[in-house]
Structure 1
Amino acid sequence: MQRSGPLHTLLAGLALALIMLSLNATTGDVASSAPSTSSAPSSGPSPSPGVSRTPPASAAPTPRSSPGRGAPPDADYAGRTADGAASVAVALRKGKAVAYVCDGRTKEAWLRGDLGDDGALRLTDGHGARLDGTLRGTTISGDVALTGLRQPFEARKAVKPSGLYRATASVRGAKVVGGWIVLQSGAQVGIVSRDGEPSAAPSIDTGSGAVTVDGERLTARPIP
């Protein structure tokens, strides 16, 4: 009697192994042909060949507007008329102007107005007196007119204690108004009016502004 059991078992095992190998190979082919689900999502359509992407141009900077001409620094200007008969002082304060014209005896006028953007001055006192001038650099020049006086003038920027001073007070029942022009040379020209009656003014102390009028001590101060 032949022993076929082991041979049959061996053949069955080989057949089973061939079947398993065949299944593994088939499964591997299917897996490799399937799309991968773990790939990163596309960031967008690829640019067409030969076409470059140009970044958007940045907005042009807004040009800065140039600052306009501002009012010149506060300053006083002092000088004389062309004939030397009177003195002229102009005080500029924040674009406003106050001027004083005085012959040191009986003629005087306080004038006011604005300084134009072009440096022009048109000052009046409301009583017919007038000063027309132009500020150029450190000099104001022009013409001044008041009763009995019409002359060109030139006033240069003053360095303290030169400049324009004024004092007001009541002295012995009279309204006193004093004006003084201190020139670069140190000379003083001024008038004190008592209830509108003008006369030559006494000198002031340019350090303190102290002045004595009719026995009363007053203080002359620069135009504020």
Structure 2
Amino acid sequence: MKPSGPLFTLLAGLLLGIFMLSLNATSGTKASSSYDGATATPTPTGPATAAPSTAPPASPSLTPTPAPDSDYAGRTADDTAAVSVSVRDGKAIGYFCDGSSQESWLKGDVKDDGSMRLTGRNGARLDGVLRAGKIDGTVEIRDRTWQFTAARAVRPSGLYRATAEVRGAKIDGGWIVLQNGRQVGILNRDGKPAAAPRIDPASGAVVVDGTRLTARPVVP
């Protein structure tokens, strides 16, 4: 039985050595695995870059365009009267005339979109829109309405007026000279209307009861 003692001791030492080697191998693998598996995330050192904006670009603001300064003249839709409008700096003066007894002077503002409402005596009203070089609208006088179109008028076409006192009578005349040279006007003597005599468009000269007067272009 004695010989088994040293053998047992040798076997025990051998087992202890194998156990220690196994333990060291296991510890080394874990340490190596832990180190290799760690991935460092680089820290950015430059300035932060903002994300690109996805908002749509702002639409450019539209600036209203004032109505152009000019004169306009034309006939009513039923061809019984004429209408002329003079526009300056957002202001307008209009004249409706049938060439015999019906007339009205009107005035008002022109908005940036070309719309206008001109008013005159006894509730007379002109509503129109200036667009593409012409005015389309209506004139209402004493519960009657006329539609009209007035195109751009270049001198001598346009609107004229003459006021004076002749032989004790107060004279007030209005004329519309159309683009084709035709004239439509009314001359009032002390408030009594009648067809107006022709004027010389080049000079505005007109003779009333033997007296020479000058009809001048009308502007607001």
Q: TM-score, normalised by structure 1?
A: 0.70
Instruction: Note if 1:88 corresponds to 2:83.
Output: yes
Q: Could you list the runs of 4 or more consecutive aligned residues of structure 1 that deviate by over 4 angstroms after TM superposition?
A: none
Cα deviations by residue, 1:69-109 (Å, 9 ceiling, x for unpaired): 24223111000111100000001011011000000000000
Q: TM-score, normalised by structure 2?
A: 0.71
Question: How many correspondences in the alignment?
Answer: 170
Q: Structure 2 residue aligned with 1:131, among 114, 117, 126? A: 126
Counterparts of residues 11-22 of structure 1 (less than 5 Å): none
Q: Give, in whole Å, the separation in 2 of the partners of 1:122 and 1:197.
A: 27
Counterparts of residues 130-209 of structure 1 (less than 5 Å): 130-147=125-142, 149-209=144-204
Counterpart contact for 2:72–2:153, Cα < 8 Å: yes
Instruction: Note if 1:51 corresponds to 2:52.
Output: no
Instruction: Output the aligned Cα RMSD.
Output: 2.2
Residue 114 of structure 2 is matched in structure 1 by 119
Q: Give, in whole Å, the separation in 2 of the partners of 1:75 and 1:145.
A: 23
Structure 2 portions without partners, runs of 5+: 1-42, 49-57
Q: Give, in whole Å, the separation in 1 of the partners of 2:189 and 2:91.
A: 27
Q: Give, in whole Å, the separation in 1 of the partners of 2:160 and 2:143.
A: 24
Percent pairwise identity: 57
Q: Tell me: CA distance 1:72–1:118, structure 2 relative to 1, closer, same or farther (3 Å).
A: closer
Q: Give, in whole Å, the separation in 2 of the partners of 1:105 and 1:125.
A: 19
- Give 1:147 shift: 3.3
Q: Tell me: CA distance 1:127–1:197, structure 2 relative to 1, closer, same or farther (3 Å).
A: same
Between the two structures, name the one with larger relative contact order (CA 8 Å, sep ≥ 6): 2
